[in-house]
A and B are shown apart, each in its own frame.
Chain A
Amino acid sequence: MHIAEGFLPPAHAIAWGVASAPFVVHGVRSLTREVRENPESTLLLGASGAFTFVLSALKIPSVTGSCSHPTGTGLGAILFRPPIMAVLGTITLLFQALLLAHGGLTTLGANVFSLAVVGPWAGYAVYRLLRRYEVPLMVAVFSGAFVADLSTYCVTSVQLALAFPDPGSGFLGALGKFGSIFAVTQIPLAVSEGLLTVLVMRLLVQSSKGDLTRLGVFLADKRPGTRAETEAVAR
């Protein structure tokens, strides 16, 4: 899921860094504003970052029989929103590169673009869209996590195909090559991550409604005679 250190030529590494920069800067501004207005949110955001890091370290059983790691981008985007996820994802990827030797520093820009920008935004867009049409929460959560996971791998395939075009059929051949290799493992993995995210969200709805309300996954409903909280896409 992560492009390894030194895998991309220098021009590609720089270009993906430049492509990721506006999203990360936007996220940093949102985070800085949030922390200045509510200083206590530093700890909450740090806890969110730690949760994202730990989530990406969990092993999930894949349909193919092997084990793999969830990206956590779908759940992260639904809980913390994509701009914040761009920053938390960047911090997580930096930690993974330096503490676990997963990914790399020269490929950080490319990995941020796929895992911390496109994945969260695509997953969150699907989640919001489905919630707008009043699709049940868990269906929207599954779809968001599935799309976030799959879009991450699609972007990674594009990044690799651009860096290593096929000698015979160029970019499209390479895209087919990397895409088909990823599809064997990643489509089942995306389904697995979607199911895991639904199960986690179901437990969170039961045990942590207060935190979910604070994060905006639920809106506190103050109208008399209605349920104390209504599911909503708050922002």
Chain B
Amino acid sequence: MLPIDAAAHSSRWRRRHPVDKAVLGLGLTVLAISLPPWPGAVLVLVAALGVLLGPAGVSPRDLWQAYRVPLGFCVTGAVTLLVQVGGPGGIVTLADGGPVRAGELLLRTSAASLGVLLFAFTTPMSDLLPRLVKAGVPAPVVDVALVTYRMSFLLLDSVRRIREAQAARLGHTTRAAAWRSLAGLGSTAFVRAFDRAARLQSGLAGRGYDGTLRVLVPEARVSVRFVAVSVMLLTALTTLTLALERPLS
């Protein structure tokens, strides 16, 4: 299981309805990209971090492990805004206002990422996917996504074991050997995926499979109180941003 999904399965908010967490987490993300980065994204970032480490109970270590990935992309992307192409100074020069634009982008992306991480760290995919049918996603697509989700972990585990076996047979010692091992890994993943699908099909056919995958979804109700508090937080952040924007600019 992947670390974010594993953390979601043992989250304090695991039993909450995904809609509750979507309103809060994805609401914070929408605010992060819609409000002025200064001070809006900063407020969203602080609020998201507070909720993640406070009520949601996400461990700081897990959060950092997951957060450093998008943070790396954000920093790399923001660096490109520091320079401009052409102009009197030369082919590539420092852009006027580049640091401000890069800083704003960095604030926006890092705040938006935390909002999505709040949702991801508290909502296991197995709780979310079956409920997408009610949101209007066609059932066959949800079924395919469910099989993809469950089979991905088995395949990732197989790939890890094959890689270890290849390493034990000195399969990564030279560049040519590494390429051969990688090709073997890719094709073995394909063969195993299709083999598992065929075996799963045989097993399900024996149980009267009619094309619909029925899975048990933990009972949960949308909490009006939780949603109301979330909306109040989002409204407060918006109001505070608009109030502070002029004095702080």
Contacts and interface: CB of A to CB of B under 8 A. Distances in A.
7 contacts: A46-B147, A51-B155, A53-B155, A87-B141, A91-B145, A101-B69, A167-B96
Interface stretch (A15-23, A147-155, A169-177, A226-234): A169-177
Nearest to A29: B138
Given A5-B116, A46-B144, A203 B201 contact: no
Contact of A50 (B101, B105, B151): B151
Contacts, number: 246
A5 B33 CA distance: 9
B140 A35 contact: yes
Contacts of A49: 144-145, 147-148, 151-152
A182 B241 CA distance: 36
Interface stretch (B49-57, B182-190, B225-233): B182-190
Given A7-B77, A7-B109, A61 B178 contact: yes
A158 to B, nearest CB: 14
Q: What interface size band does chain A fall in?
A: 35 or more
A135 interface: no
A220 interface: no
Interface residues of B, number: 85
B116 A167 contact: no
A200 interface: yes
Question: Could you tell me the dominant secondary structure of chain A's interface residues?
Answer: helix
Contacts of A60: 182
Interface of B: 2, 4-5, 26, 29-30, 32-34, 66-67, 69-70, 73-74, 77, 80-81, 83-87, 93, 95-98, 101, 105, 108-113, 115-117, 119-120, 125, 138, 140-141, 143-152, 154-156, 159, 175, 178-180, 182-187, 189-191, 193-194, 196-198, 200-201, 204-205, 209-211, 213
Interface in A70-125: 75, 87-88, 91-92, 94-95, 97-102, 104-106
Candidate in B93, B138, B193 with the most chain A CB atoms within 10 angstroms: B193
Contact of A207 (B29, B145, B191, B193): B191
Contacts of B120: 97-99, 101
Candidate in B66, B70, B87 with the most chain A CB atoms within 10 angstroms: B70
B147 A10 contact: no
A168 B108 contact: no
